[in-house]
A and B are shown apart, each in its own frame.
Chain A
């Protein structure tokens, strides 16, 4: 099994702790001038998202987690599982509700998602940073209002609700930033 020594620690490194995969969020080297050196790290549990602290004696080794990111194409939702395909190998993988999380609000068939795999299985799914989705329902805005100063809720084809300017209407395509869940622009001409 691959392992990392503390001097290889850095943000983003994936390690196994207590049987779970973790990613290092922050690593601090501490050492008294005359005395034992330590690495105090903040790690995020990749299954639960919880961030905890851990102290290692410098020079200790930790097992590496078989975690990597890959781009998978979203195929369809069968009512229980979300199905993805590796575009190079055509291998199909599924994600359940715990794994898909918030991404289910934003993704459409054919979208390429960044998927974190743990021991070859999806652990988490990141939607594309920007998606173009159709508005399925929103109140008609005031005619002639192009200022964008106000806003109104709009339901999108995936079920997500975002705040849009008053002049945007049902049936239009809009571009949304999935990291913030906010409206970016109309996408008519794209």
Chain B
């Protein structure tokens, strides 16, 4: 038996229809990019699932050796940026993405992502657009939106400055915030910030309205551009509804040298932590070198958005067949 009812499958189809209509009306082109790639994300917090290509003995696949490892993508971000660099204009994609080792009430190793890019847009304009889309999908035209700054959020609710607090101060904040069982935990500052964000702050976000958190610490920039304000911040935002993270967006980094330096730093961290070190996507870096237009982009988890639309708290309730029964 499917774990989602027929009504839920219908709600998913409605969501997809609405979002395609939304983007068609706005002149955003739907694209597809490869799920399989010889390179993979270097993000130390993500693990790619790997498969392999056994070859076809055809000239058409020159450049791919038989037995070559291929990774399933964790996000379509890099090839979509290659399309932007090639002059695609605004684009969106709906696809499955894959993440090894992730399974929980809100996590499933494959899930549906909506990702889109707006060349020439600011992060603020993109935030307006995603909140508009969410209102349409949820059929809640009056749903408000609060915009919070990451630093201010931590100072207001936990009394710490995430830019300057060291791991022991953050550990103390976790204890003060009611997080039990952390005494033995050894984390770096970003690890503690992740724990505080997901366990102490996130549950209260998006209650009664959407919450957007923006201006992240530079150490959590991922693929976002840095803004040299005081202190410097990463031009990144996340969207929360009903205590759940739904989307992550960037004012995209377009500097090829800076991007390569971040990939290399990721690889060094992975190496040091004993994680596998996948090759860097050179085709993406070449596209950045050729020139990618300044763009804002965001990825939105569609299964979680559907959970919000239906008021359910388990991802399994919106999946036809969870991985254990796939």
Residues on A lying within 8 angstroms of B by beta carbon are: 7, 28-38, 40-41, 52-59
Contacts and interface: CB of A to CB of B under 8 A. Distances in A.
Interface string B284-308: 0000000000000001010000000
Contacts of A36: 45, 187, 190-191, 194-195
A30 B198 contact: yes
Contacts of B220: 34-35
Nearest to A41: B181
Interface residues of B, number: 32
B179 interface: yes
Most central of A32, A53, A58 by chain B CB within 10 Å: A32
Nearest to B299: A33
Most central of B105, B107, B179, B301 by chain A CB within 10 Å: B107
Contacts of B187: 36, 57
Contacts of A7: 101
B30 interface: no
Nearest to A38: B195
A35 B198 contact: yes
B235 interface: no
Nearest to B180: A53
Contact of A29 (B102, B186, B190, B301): B102
Nearest to B192: A36
Given A30-B104, A36-B45, A57 B185 contact: yes
A34 B103 contact: no
B197 interface: yes
B22 to A, nearest CB: 22
A34 B43 contact: yes
Interface string B192-204: 0111011100100
A52 B220 CA distance: 31
Contact of A33 (B185, B186, B193, B245): B245
Contacts of A56: 185
Nearest to B247: A33
A35 B194 contact: yes
11 contacts: A29-B107, A32-B202, A35-B45, A35-B220, A36-B45, A38-B198, A41-B181, A53-B180, A53-B181, A55-B199, A57-B187
Contacts of B185: 55-57
B182 interface: yes
A11 to B, nearest CB: 13
B248 interface: yes
B115 interface: no
A58 B275 CA distance: 13
Contacts of A58: 101
Interface in B187-234: 187, 190-191, 193-195, 197-199, 202, 220, 222
Nearest to B250: A34
A55 B185 CA distance: 7
Given A32-B198, A36-B45, 20 more contacts: A31-B45, A32-B202, A33-B245, A33-B248, A34-B43, A35-B45, A35-B190, A35-B197, A36-B187, A36-B191, A37-B102, A38-B195, A38-B198, A40-B199, A52-B180, A52-B181, A54-B184, A55-B185, A56-B185, A57-B185
A59 B182 CA distance: 16
A33 B238 contact: yes
B182 A55 contact: yes
A42 to B, nearest CB: 9
A53 B199 CA distance: 13
Contact of A34 (B45, B101, B105, B301): B45
A34 B238 CA distance: 10
Contacts of A54: 181, 184
B190 A28 contact: no
Contacts of A30: 104, 198-199
A9 to B, nearest CB: 11
